[in-house]
Amino acid sequence: MTVRITHIGGPTVLIEVAGWRLLTDPTFDAPGRRYAFGWGTSSRKLVGPAIPAAAIGPIDAVLLSHDHHGDNLDAAGRALLPSAGVVVTTVAGAARLGGSARGLTPWQATRLEAGAGGSRPTIEITATPCRHGPPLSRPFVGDVIGFALRWDGQQHGVLWISGDTVLYDGVLQLADRLQVDTALLHLGGVRFPISGPVRYTMTAADAVELCSLLRPRAAIPIHYEGWKHFRNGRDAIEREFASAPEEIGASLRWMPIGVGVELAI
């Protein structure tokens, strides 16, 4: 079965499969604004979305890794949520958002079902672990989840969205629990001046290490540029994958911004 992936910018991706339209971490604000992330951290948005929110069309579900940081859910993205069929996010995020939001803890699952007589396959959405910073940082940075998507007809494994996370044992569990075909990886090696060398998302080297365990057929970087707080951009990602073993290096796949690409999964 094929899936159509459109990288709109940052963490925002439109996933179209078998009649379903899913949107990850909606960010549609114009560039230029500075966003506070708490505890003295902030960042400025440098690049706007390739497709405006008004042109996205109907959305069946929003997969929201976390609702409390403006680089994953901004004002324009938040305004889009009420029109989505359902929002899947963290338990804390669902409580804050209310409405149709479904909150998941890591390894908990929910389903999107077409209903009686529907021709679309059921999509199982499993939350995967994230830690958006160093050990013991969860009380400060808040809860985050990733998403593993499974539906009938997949030939090579699940579609996985990492969410904002560092590489730690929770993420490494995926190698034992899931067969990942396509991985959308939140990278960028986020750092802030106030916390020095501490990182809040995976680096390019982390991505190579993780892909060496998961062995996805396609590793697609997202959320690695377009904001001031990213420290590990496309050049660093390309260098790390170029120096990795051939099979890992060959898995790197860049999505053209704003253009849908069909992949067989």
- Report the 3 state secondary structure along the chain: CEEEEEEEECCEEEEEECCEEEEECCCCCCCCCEEEEECCEEEEECCCCCCCHHHCCCCCEEECCCCCCCCCCCHHHHHHHHHCCEEEEEHHHHHHHCCCEEEECCCCEEEECCCCCCCCCCEEEEEEECCCCCCCCHHHHCCCEEEEEEECCCCCCEEEECCCCCCCHHHHCHHHHCCEEEEEEECCCCCCHHHCCCCCCCCHHHHHHHHHHHCCCEEEEECCCCECCCCCCHHHHHHHHHCCCHHHHCCECCCCECCCEEEEC
CA distance 99 to 148: 23
Q: What is the pLDDT of residues 12-42, one digit of tens each?
A: 999 999 999 999 999 999 999 999 998 889 9
- Contact (Cβ atoms closer than 8 angstroms) between residue 80 and residue 56: yes
Mean pLDDT across 158-183: 98
- Contact (Cβ atoms closer than 8 angstroms) between residue 90 and residue 166: no
pLDDT at position 207: 98
Mean pLDDT across 175-192: 97
| pLDDT above 90 for 256 | yes
| pLDDT above 70 for 250 | yes
Mean pLDDT across 137-143: 94
> Confidence band (pLDDT; 50, 70, 90) for 225?
very high
| pLDDT above 70 for 117 | no
Q: Is 126 exposed, middle or buried (0-12, 13-18, 19+ CB in 10 A)?
A: buried
Q: Which two tokens stand for residue 118?
A: 């529907």
pLDDT at position 3: 97
| pLDDT above 80 for 116 | no
CATH of domain 2-254: 3.60.15.10
Strands laid side by side in the 109-112 sheet: 109-112, 123-129, 145-151, 158-161, 180-186, 218-222
pLDDT averaged over every residue in the chain:
96
Mean pLDDT across 103-116: 92
pLDDT at position 100: 84
